[in-house]
Chain A
Amino acid sequence: ETGVTQSPTHLIKTRGQQVTLRCSSQSGHNTVSWYQQALGQGPQFIFQYYREEENGRGNFPPRFSGLQFPNYSSELNVNALELDDSALYLCASSLGGAGGDYGYTFGSGTRLTVV
């Protein structure tokens, strides 16, 4: 059973650029959620994808967008990067749209630095 893998592990981008982060979900999981963890803070929910459709969104602007593919892997895209987007981005997979009863498996994250 493979866990959740995220790529890249680290990334440096310039303000105004666009970035794509990738996530492979745990085998058997069909739901992917993305979280942003700023330095010294708890992770904050960005959005969730269930069977290739967005299934909930947190308080993030539209320049944060995502995709889920038929194999349940996922991408997080951020356009027009701002300095405050610098954070650890975590992907979590789960089984079923809820995940609350089944538990979430987190990846190790992508550390994004915007300069």
Chain B
Amino acid sequence: AQSVTQLDSHVSVSEGTPVLLRCNYSSSYSPSLFWYVQHPNKGLQLLLKYTSAATLVKGINGFEAEFKKSETSFHLTKPSAHMSDAAEYFCVVSESGGSNYKLTFGKGTLLTVNP
């Protein structure tokens, strides 16, 4: 079975400071991992994905994440927060190679960016 734990339900940063959103996963198969962002009253937008290639993944809008198998982590980072980054972020796991192709979402981390 696959699962995702987002370690912080709410992260607050000042504009221009680094962002760190933490995610740990559990998977029986080789996982694919994703970060999605959801702005208020909007659908989900893919930020980046890891699918067993390079462990450091670069995404859109300056975000990146590092896959660490030994720590079962996939933390999302950004060097400098922008006001437009304020949104809900979801860490997601999908098991490749198994018969279960569903996405399993974490509970989300609300990012607040203060001026």
Contact = CB atoms under 8 A, between A and B. Distances in A.
Chain B facing A: main interface SS: strand
Contacts, number: 62
Interface of A: 4, 33, 35, 41-45, 48, 55-56, 58, 90, 92, 97-101, 103-109
B29 to A, nearest CB: 10
Contacts of A103: 34, 46, 49
A100 B107 contact: no
B63 interface: no
Contact of A33 (B51, B102, B108): B102
B90 interface: yes
Interface residues of B, number: 24
A90 B44 contact: yes
Nearest to B31: A100
B42 A104 contact: no
Contacts of A44: 105
Nearest to B100: A56
Contact of A104 (B46, B51, B104): B46
B103 A33 contact: yes
A75 to B, nearest CB: 18
